[in-house]
Amino acid sequence: MNHRNAIFSIHIEQANGGLDFRFAGGLTVRMHVSNRMTNFVDSVLSTIQRIEIFLAAVEGYRWRIDWLLDFNKDFPSILNLGCDKGYETIALMWFLNSKNALGIDKDPNHIDQANSSVRYFIDDLNNLRRSLNYSSELPRNIFLKSTSLLKNMHNRTFPDFSVNDLTAKASMPGDDYDLAYCERVLYHIASGENNEPKNNLLRSAIVKVRRALKRGGIFIAIEPKTSSPDSEEKLDLSDYFHIPEFIRCEDMASKFVIENKEIYCYTKN
Give the separation between CA 230 and CA 217, rounded to whole angstroms: 35
Closest CA to 268 of 231, 243, 235: 243
Tell me how far apart the alpha carbons of residues 261 and 255 are, in angstroms, rounded to a whole number.
13
Q: 223-240, pLDDT tens digit by residue?
A: 998 877 777 788 889 999
Residue whose C-alpha is closest to residue 213's, from 70, 65, 76: 76
The pLDDT of residue 136 is 83
User: Of the candidates 243, 235, 190, which has an alpha carbon nearest to the alpha carbon of residue 219?
Assistant: 243
Beta-ladder partners of 133? none
Q: Between these two residues, 217 and 34, which has the higher pLDDT value? A: 217
Q: Read off the pLDDT of residues 99-147 as tens digits, 9 standing for 90 and up.
A: 999 999 999 999 999 999 999 999 999 999 999 998 887 888 999 999 9
What's the rounded Cα separation, in Å, for the pair 198 and 186?
A: 10
pTM for the structure as a whole: 0.82
